[in-house]
Amino acid sequence: MDLTNIETQTRWYTKTDSSTFTDADILRESNNEYAKLIMKKVQMEGNVSSLGHFATHTLKADGAASDEAGYNGEYPYPENCLYLTRIEAKFDEDHIPVVLYDSSSNSYSEFTNVDEPFDEAIPQARLQRDSIFIRPFPDSDVTEGLYIEYVKRQTAFADDADEAEFEANFHDLIPMGVAIRYFKRNVGKYREELREMRRDYESLENEFLEFYRDRNEHKMKITTKKETF
């Protein structure tokens, strides 16, 4: 369901037109509802979210300017990052998984002794202020030396052709949610409509949550080893 259809469906639910419920108001409330649903979706899916994405950085040697990525080994999260799922670094031929560490466990300075006690064979990182601090630094800049996998934030609706990034069978949740927001503005007038729309919304939302909770569930099968005594 694209934005045009969301507007049409919302007005059908609310019995409004472009004068009584403007495109701008529907766009704003659609994005609010979309953001809420995306957060529920990623909470159900966890690290196997269909919104998984990746980004790369040039892994900088010591000497990066203080206002650019790589200074003191600091690389900001991608702008659309909700949370990280994997980090890899490359100092030579291949990327290597990065191990996270706690700065309190490092007895050396995090600013002046950045290469101690770290080793390129086991790259490490700590997370702070929505940034990744990589240790150690490479001897020279490495193009795409830092590889980041993450779950991304949704792209907000802006164009009429924009569609929600979740299963199409649940797209009706957006106009239903926008209709609920509309009815809540004047509960006295729309009390019955609000009650009925909430009931229908909650029913579809429960299906939505169950779908994403179970969609990528990994079921472990344990087989015991047969022994002869």
Whether 205 is covered by a domain: the verdict is yes
Domain that holds residue 119: 52-152
Residues 87 and 104 in one domain: yes
Whether 91 is covered by a domain: the verdict is yes
Q: Rounded CA gap, 46 and 214, in Å? A: 11
Whether 26 is covered by a domain: the verdict is yes
Residues 105 and 42 in one domain: no
Q: Structural domain tally of the chain?
A: 2
Residues 95 and 165 in one domain: no
Residues 145 and 172 in one domain: no
Instruction: Out of 128, 152, 176, pick the residue that ends a domain.
Output: 152
Q: Rounded CA gap, 37 and 40, in Å? A: 5
Residue 220: per-residue pLDDT = 47
Residues 178 and 118 in one domain: no
Whether 86 is covered by a domain: the verdict is yes
Return the beta strands (E) in the chain as ranges.
Answer: 52-59, 74-76, 81-90, 95-97, 99-100, 124-128, 131-135, 142-152
Residues 61 and 139 in one domain: yes
Whether 222 is covered by a domain: the verdict is no
Residue 75 tokens, joined: 């690389």
Instruction: Out of 136, 152, 168, pick the residue that ends a domain.
Output: 152
Residue 221: per-residue pLDDT = 53
Residues 40 and 128 in one domain: no
pLDDT tens for the chain, residues 1 to 229: 999 999 999 999 999 999 999 999 999 999 999 999 999 999 999 888 889 999 999 999 987 888 899 999 999 999 999 999 999 999 988 999 999 998 888 888 878 777 788 899 999 999 999 999 999 999 999 999 999 999 999 999 999 999 999 999 999 999 999 999 999 999 999 999 999 999 999 999 999 999 999 887 655 455 555 555 5
Residues 82 and 138 in one domain: yes
Distances (CA, A) of 59 to 33, 66, 82, 129, 192: 38, 15, 22, 19, 59
182-206 pLDDT tens trace: 999 999 999 999 999 999 999 999 9
Whether 126 is covered by a domain: the verdict is yes
Whether 223 is covered by a domain: the verdict is no
Q: Rounded CA gap, 74 and 126, in Å? A: 9
159-186 pLDDT tens trace: 999 999 999 999 999 999 999 999 999 9
Q: Rounded CA gap, 33 and 178, in Å? A: 7
Whether 89 is covered by a domain: the verdict is yes
pTM (predicted TM-score): 0.85
Instruction: Out of 103, 123, 152, pick the residue that ends a domain.
Output: 152
Residues 26 and 84 in one domain: no
